[in-house]
Amino acid sequence: MSFDPIKFLETAVETPSTESVTAMRELVRETLEANGETVRIDDAGNLLAEKGSEEPRIVLNTHLDTVPPHHPLERTETEIRGRGSCDAKGPLAAMLAAFIRTEPETGRLTLALTPDEEQESTGAAALELDADGFIVGEPTGLDVCVAARGRFQGTVRLGGRGAHAATPESGVNAISGLKEAIAGLESYDAEHGPATHPRLGAPTLTPTLVSGGEATNRIPSEATLTIDRRSVPPERAPEFFESLQAHLRSVVPEDLTVAVEPAERETPFLEGFETDSDAAVSQALVAAGAGEPRTFGAATEAAYFAAVAPTVVFGPGVLADEQGPVAHGEREYVSIDAVRRAGTILTEGLETLLVAG
């Protein structure tokens, strides 16, 4: 059966995948089986297909889920529009084309599609894949991305002592302590953060939500800040939260309690990663026509795979263009030519890695 990535992409964008990936996963399963491939679904909901049996071992990975809300398919002469068209159903269509076309002679090719990338990465965290290289499908404008920041989320919780607002001196105002806590967030990296990364630059630490108080006439006993951390290597989540706790304790008034709490999640946070631009998986894609290595602008499941083997991010589409957001945006789209071109680049890159040796 002949596989047309654009026809597949049209069907994929029409298939909702914001709340459940079941229908999307079945579409991929049916497509692969119709093209003679063997598919299995593991206990975490990952879809896996494999061919070949030797080394080197290359993994193609992207995700099946999309962020809400669902936007229906629109097609023009040059673009596919709708939710997931570039993040990441366009990259998925290109990867399917390359997987179906490739018959390894000197290695093993694995396709691993995860169900929960936009939330907690439960699928990717459950994967145990030995590999010599990973290619992760995301909208990179057909460039090879060899590094990305990580993302941690947590809460800074300040505890005071409630009292009647008519006698504020009898209590300890937790909201008032936010001034020192926010200043502490701003000073953290200069005093304790990792060095500026040569590719990714400096990390960021941003308060994104605030809450506090129990009544309009009561001194608030609690205030909280939600924080967003965009990390760079070699920073790791446990050490970051421990260090931030100590730093904020040193700057917040002593009569307030301070607790820095990582967000609850079943899986490890996505940490920053970097792959050598000279890695075979990077050079094979560049030689096939991909753009020169650069950084990627968002956290991805590539962070998990980079701990195993050299990992790059690649695919058609862009996170944003000159008009504003594209991925996750209301006007999400991908170029038809870019999807076809991505499939060709991936196929030729795999030819170098797995066929030509």
3-state secondary structure of 313: strand
Predicted confidence band of residue 357 (pLDDT cuts 50, 70, 90): low
Q: Are strands 133-137 and 57-63 parallel, antiparallel or unpaired?
A: parallel
3-state secondary structure of 159: strand
Domain that holds residue 348: 5-148+272-355
Residue 75, H or E segment: strand 74-75
Interval 144-162 mean pLDDT: 97
Interval 34-43 mean pLDDT: 97
For residue range 192-219, what is the model confidence (pLDDT) as tens digits? Answer: 999 999 999 999 999 999 999 999 999 9
Cα–Cα dist 328/18, whole Å: 11
Domain boundary pick from 220, 235, 262: 262
Cα–Cα dist 181/65, whole Å: 36
CATH number for the domain harbouring residue 74: 3.40.630.10
Asked if residue 205 belongs to a domain, the reply is yes
Tokens of residue 8, six digits: 């597949």
Same domain flag for 143 and 282: yes
Asked if residue 125 belongs to a domain, the reply is yes
CATH number for the domain harbouring residue 164: 3.30.70.360
Q: pTM here?
A: 0.93
pLDDT of res. 53 = 86
Same domain flag for 68 and 196: no
For residue range 46-58, what is the model confidence (pLDDT) as tens digits? Answer: 999 999 988 899 9
Interval 128-145 mean pLDDT: 97
Residue 140 CB neighbours (<10 A): 26
Same domain flag for 29 and 125: yes
> What average pLDDT does the chain have?
96
CA 81 to chain centre: 21
Same domain flag for 139 and 75: yes
Q: Does residue 4 have a pLDDT over 70?
A: yes
Residue 200 is classified by DSSP as T
pLDDT of res. 229 = 97
Interval 322-326 mean pLDDT: 95
